[in-house]
Amino acid sequence: MRSLKILAAVALAVSATTASAWAEFPEKPITFIIPYGPGGTSDVGARTWGPFMEKCLGQPIVFVNKPGAGGELGFTELAAAAPDGYTIGALNVPNYPAGTITKPDAKYKLDSFVMIGNFYGSIVTINAKKGGQYDTLAKLVDAAKSGTNINMAISNDGADDHIKMLDFMKQAGVKFTFIPMSDAATSRNAVMGGHVDVSGNSMTEVVPFQDELQTLAVASEEERPELPGIPTFKEQGYDVFGGSNHVIGAPAGTPPEVVEKLSGCLSQVAADPEFQKAAKERSLLLNVMDAKQTTEWVQKESERIKALWESDPWTK
> pTM, whole model, 2 decimals?
0.78
pLDDT at 53: 98
CA 292, chain centre distance (Å): 18
Calpha distance 290→212 (Å, rounded): 37
pLDDT at 107: 92
pLDDT at 316: 62
Per-residue pLDDT of the chain (316 residues; tens, 9 = 90+): 554 444 444 444 444 444 444 458 999 999 999 998 898 888 999 999 999 999 999 999 999 999 988 889 999 999 999 999 999 999 999 989 999 998 888 899 999 999 999 999 889 999 999 999 999 999 999 999 999 999 999 988 888 899 899 889 989 999 999 999 978 889 999 999 999 999 999 998 899 999 999 999 999 989 999 999 999 999 999 999 988 899 999 999 999 999 999 999 999 999 999 999 999 998 888 999 999 999 999 999 899 888 888 887 877 6
Q: Pick from 119, 123, 176: which is nearest to 153 by CA? A: 176
- Secondary-structure class of domain 124-236 per CATH: alpha beta
Q: How crowded is residue 17: how many other Cβ atoms within 10 Å of its Cβ? A: 10
pLDDT at 14: 43
Question: What DSSP letter does each residue of the chain carry, written as one string?
Answer: -HHHHHHHHHHHHHHHHHHHHHHT--SS-EEEEESS-TTSHHHHHHHHHHHHHHHHHTS-EEEEE---GGGHHHHHHHHHS-SSSSEEEEEEETHHHHHHHH-TT-S--GGGEEEEEEEEE--EEEEEETTSS--SHHHHHHHHHTT---EEEESSTTSHHHHHHHHHHHHHT---EEEE-SSHHHHHHHHHTTSSSEEEEEHHHHGGGTTTEEEEEE-SSS--TTSTTPPBTGGGT-------EEEEEEETT--HHHHHHHHHHHHHHHT-HHHHHHHHHTT-EEEEE-HHHHHHHHHHHHHHHHHHHHHS-S--
- Domain-wise residue ranges, the chain: 2-121+244-311, 124-236
Do 2-121+244-311 and 124-236 have matching folds? yes
CA atoms within 13 A on the CB side of 217: 27
pLDDT at 31: 98
pLDDT at 311: 80
Calpha distance 5→97 (Å, rounded): 48
Can you name the residues that pair with 232 across neighbouring β-strands? 218
pLDDT at 68: 85
Q: Which fold has domain 2-121+244-311?
A: D-Maltodextrin-Binding Protein; domain 2 (3.40.190)
Can you name the residues that pair with 126 across neighbouring β-strands? 200, 217
